[in-house]
Amino acid sequence: MEKKKFWEIVESLNWKEASEIEKLAIDSVKLNLLVTLSPNEVVGFGNYFSEVYRLVEKHVDTALDDCDAYVSDDSFSDLISHIIGLGEDFMNKAFDDYQVIRDLADSGDYVESFSYLIPSIEDYEKLNKGHYAELARKYAQETKNLSEAEKLGDQITVDKFLNKVSNYDFKDILPLAVRVYEYWYSEEGKKANLDVHNRYNGYGVPNLASDIIIILPIIEKLNGGK
């Protein structure tokens, strides 16, 4: 990808304002970009981002060498990506004046993470309804193997949601997905079964509901509203 095209795309993402949104819909931004670019452009954009990242990394490393600001390994990556997200002019300004980088590091005025908006070829699977149907069947099978004490409080809603998605029945699915997602994060949902919440990483249903809420409208727009 040409340098000019890369920075035009970066500017279009408006990271300065987007980074101030408390719960930025990362997948929505990423997938809207995915349907805008060709597969070759997606690969080129990701590759060029990696090149710029390595360049910025060297400058940030040098700038912070004699700086008292503490930046953890994860935050170091966020800082680099944040600088890229703010655009080419800001990046060049930071290269010319390392105090810009030091001030960002010292204030912590950067967020996690512009790099999450960078689409990849693998993200194309998220534009396929079959991807979600397969996940729903997997989670439905896992649910059958749970004891009553392990199930989510509003299990009837969860079962209905998983059944519809498993059978490619996406008509009127959004209100149901919202109910599943919002119940999971509600105080009522947390109190209903704390054990389920404690093993959140092994329970993909709320993530599935969230993905469908964000991505289904994009898929339908891509397919002409179908």
Find out whether 99 and 137 touch, Cβ atoms under 8 Å. Answer: no
Kindly give the confidence (pLDDT) of every residue in the chain, 226 residues in length, as a single tens digit, with 9 standing for 90 and above.
788 999 998 998 888 887 776 556 666 777 778 778 888 888 888 899 999 999 999 998 888 887 777 777 778 888 899 999 999 999 999 999 989 988 888 887 888 888 888 888 777 777 788 888 988 888 887 767 665 555 555 677 888 888 999 988 888 888 888 888 887 777 776 666 555 544 544 457 888 888 888 777 777 766 654 4
Q: How many CA atoms lie within 13 A of 140 on its CB side?
A: 17
Contacts of 203 (CB under 8 A, 6+ apart): 152, 196
Instruction: Quote the distance between the C-alpha of residue 64 and its chain's center.
Output: 28
Which pair of structure tokens corresponds to residue 143?
């649910």
Give the pTM. Answer: 0.64
Tell me the domain boundaries of the chain. 3-122, 128-222
The 3-state DSSP composition of the chain as helix, strand, coil percent (nearest 5) reads 75, 0, 25
